[in-house]
Structure 1
Amino acid sequence: MTLTAVEMQDRSVDGMVELRERRAALLANRCLTWVFGADDPEAVVREVRAGELRLRVHAPRAPATSALGRPIVLAFHGGGWCWGSPEQSRWMAGRIAARTGAVVVAPAYRLAPEHPYPAAVEDCWAALTWVAAHAADLGADADRIAVLGDSAGGTLAAVVALRARDEGEPRIRGQVLVYPLVDLVGLRGPGLGGIVEHYLGGDESRAEEWAVSPLRAASHKSLPPALVLTARFDPLRRHAERYAAALRTAGVEVAVHRPALATHAYLTLPGISPASRAGLARVLTFLSDVLASP
């Protein structure tokens, strides 16, 4: 059966309405805190605006120990570029702030299909340049920035690190890539085809671009040190492993953490995944090392 243009448009509209309803239901679910964890009591949370972009900022309650200001961790949430919000990563963000002394900034980047690529990439880059320019307002040090992201957010963190290297600033001290998707060309699987289609606005040829598929960047040299987290039972495990291998081949310092009893999304699911705490411990150690003064 061949669909008419009107029928195709109706299906697209219905799909967007359903997606918005599913997002709203997720945020309204009382199990959200139990599954994703709560804000850390040792961190103060507030929201700021970078133009139209909402930023959720976690700062330690404890006084800063350096006159230079606190380091910054820019954290991108997961959700296949179609779901998610900074709130779903609050357990991890709050603990990073409380335990490393960093200011953790989590942007609510635009989501597909309403805002397909490159909207999310543009928002994440805008968040990086904003925190670098406004570090003093955050009580932070623009010379000590790391990026972090899980799943789709890990892809965005890798892309931001590549762009910062190419443009020469802001300087990024380290990148934490948590089960990232690094090559969207021909990506298929349960639910994945639709997510990729939404993210790319139906134009699969864009998957060839490095800002979509960071594994396809012309070079991975001179990138900041990386911590790559994956999981033994993650169906996308090879994405993270291939990217770690590409970074090592390019001479980048890389550490890999792969828990044996975990699957995709474990790091941000402390309510149901025992492996989340060991993974977070690795993240904390890595960030403390790469963000140390000077």
Structure 2
Amino acid sequence: MTMALRTKLFARLLKATETGIEDVEDYPAHRAKRAKLQRSAVGRWIFGTATKAAVAEEIEIDDLRALVHRPRSGVSPLPCVVNFHGGGWVQGNPEQSQWLASRVAARNRCVVVSPTYRLGPENPFPAAVHDARSVLDWVVEHADELGVSPDRIAVMGDSAGGNLAAVTALDARDGGPELRAQVLIYPGVEMYDRWPSEDEHAEAPVLSSANMRAFTRLYLGESFGTTDHRASPIRATSHAGLPKTFILTAEIDPLKDNGSHYRDALVEAGVPVRFAEYPGALHGFVSLPGAVPVAQRALDDICDFLRETL
């Protein structure tokens, strides 16, 4: 387990300042504080900034805000990627994903729609699931307005967003629209089972086992204990018929085994799967390009996969 020097420094700083998510008393204030950090000079270095090779606009999808990244040139209709941000279903925003989303848009000449969704604990499961599905439906219904092709759509997400992308792909398989691909970045696919990587990296920076379990309880609320696959997509009755999938995992992450177990479930069901584990990477690394240099390699791999599938 070898981390880059800047990653080690970031991890030490984070360990010295992080707070358990269950210790938060005012979640809106907590989210506002995180957003302010993102906008600071240090935050822009850690989270990265959008590339100037893409343009961004903010739109409203029903009652949800979304950032739309598109290449500066390209002939419509373009492919589309619906991207769900991470944050344990309790925090996070589309801005934290703009380094990745804008570069995917520019390099793949596609439109990337990064929506908000209702967050727990104020809006527990399955509110976020419903929002994710409604965004996908809205994109298809407004394809002409967005300048996208409704038959060249992929879903993508990291962490909690990877969970929502996986759930949305299952839902779309059963009721349309047909997706071309799904990109699942260190996704959480199982709410309860404890796999070896969680013990191995129980005190990892960014995401500890304790915070991981707290996020689950806060998100599920009164539904804690449910075996609904919309909470734990690995529990779906069948994974057959899902689109081509790329699963990315981080070496130093309690959620690492979630990704490899989901890979195994999809491969067993006959789904074409690309899989990669990134050495020296922490949970959340694709949203932390300033602190984790291997994020650039992950970006290259994601763009390569989407180029093949879209």
Corresponding position of 1:35:
46
Q: How far does the alpha carbon of each residue in 1:137-185 deviate from its partner, in whole angstroms, 9 at most, with x for none?
A: 0111111000000000000000000000011x11100000000011102
Corresponding position of 1:203:
223
Shift in Å, 1:244: 0.4
Corresponding position of 1:4:
none
Runs of 4+ in structure 1 off by over 6 angstroms are none
Residue 138 of structure 2 is aligned to residue 170 of structure 1:
no
Corresponding position of 2:89:
81
Q: Within 5 Å, which residues of 2 pair with 1:203-242? A: 203-206=223-226, 208-242=227-261
Task: Write the distance in 2 (CA, Å) between the matches of 1:257 and 1:77.
Answer: 20
> RMSD in angstroms over aligned alpha carbons?
1.4
The one of 262, 271, 274 equivalent to 2:281 is 262
Corresponding position of 1:7:
none
Higher RCO structure (Cα 8 Å, ≥6 apart): 2
Instruction: Determine helix, strand or coil for the equivalent of 1:278.
Output: helix
Task: Write the distance in 1 (CA, Å) between the matches of 2:24 and 2:250.
Answer: 31
* Partners of 2:69 and 2:105 within 8 A in 1: yes
* Partners of 2:125 and 2:223 within 8 A in 1: no
* Partners of 1:176 and 1:283 within 8 A in 2: yes
| Higher mean C-alpha deviation, range 119-128 or range 26-35 | 26-35
> Partner letter of residue 113 of structure 1?
P
Structure 1 stretches of 5 or more lacking a match? Answer: 1-13
> Partner letter of residue 89 of structure 2?
W
TM-score by length of 1: 0.90
The one of 151, 164, 188 equivalent to 1:181 is 188
Shift in Å, 1:15: 6.6
Q: How far does the alpha carbon of each residue in 1:91-133 deviate from its partner, in whole angstroms, 9 at most, with x for none?
A: 0000000000010000101100010001100000000000011
Task: Write the distance in 2 (CA, Å) between the matches of 1:218 and 1:63.
Answer: 40
Shift in Å, 1:203: 3.0
Task: Write the distance in 2 (CA, Å) between the matches of 1:41 and 1:59.
Answer: 11
Residue 78 of structure 2 is aligned to residue 59 of structure 1:
no
> Partner letter of residue 186 of structure 2?
Y
| Higher mean C-alpha deviation, range 178-187 or range 153-162 | 178-187
Task: Write the distance in 2 (CA, Å) between the matches of 1:77 and 1:276.
Answer: 16
Task: Write the distance in 2 (CA, Å) between the matches of 1:203 and 1:153.
Answer: 19
Task: Write the distance in 2 (CA, Å) between the matches of 1:102 and 1:139.
Answer: 10
Task: Write the distance in 2 (CA, Å) between the matches of 1:193 and 1:63.
Answer: 43
Instruction: Determine helix, strand or coil for the equivalent of 1:231.
Output: strand
Shift in Å, 1:269: 0.6
Task: Write the distance in 2 (CA, Å) between the matches of 1:254 and 1:186.
Answer: 23
How many residue pairs align between the two structures? 273
Corresponding position of 1:114:
122
Corresponding position of 2:162:
154
Task: Write the distance in 1 (CA, Å) between the matches of 2:212 and 2:304.
Answer: 32
TM-score by length of 2: 0.85
Task: Write the distance in 2 (CA, Å) between the matches of 1:185 and 1:173.
Answer: 30
Shift in Å, 1:193: 2.4
Instruction: Determine helix, strand or coil for the equivalent of 1:267.
Output: helix
| Higher mean C-alpha deviation, range 110-119 or range 47-56 | 47-56
Instruction: Determine helix, strand or coil for the equivalent of 1:183.
Output: coil
* Partners of 1:77 and 1:89 within 8 A in 2: yes
Residue 211 of structure 2 is aligned to residue 191 of structure 1:
yes
Corresponding position of 1:100:
108
Task: Write the distance in 1 (CA, Å) between the matches of 2:72 and 2:63.
Answer: 27
Structure 2 stretches of 5 or more lacking a match? Answer: 1-21, 199-208
Residue 270 of structure 2 is aligned to residue 251 of structure 1:
yes
* Partners of 1:16 and 1:113 within 8 A in 2: no
Instruction: Determine helix, strand or coil for the equivalent of 1:155.
Output: helix
Task: Write the distance in 2 (CA, Å) between the matches of 1:247 and 1:182.
Answer: 12
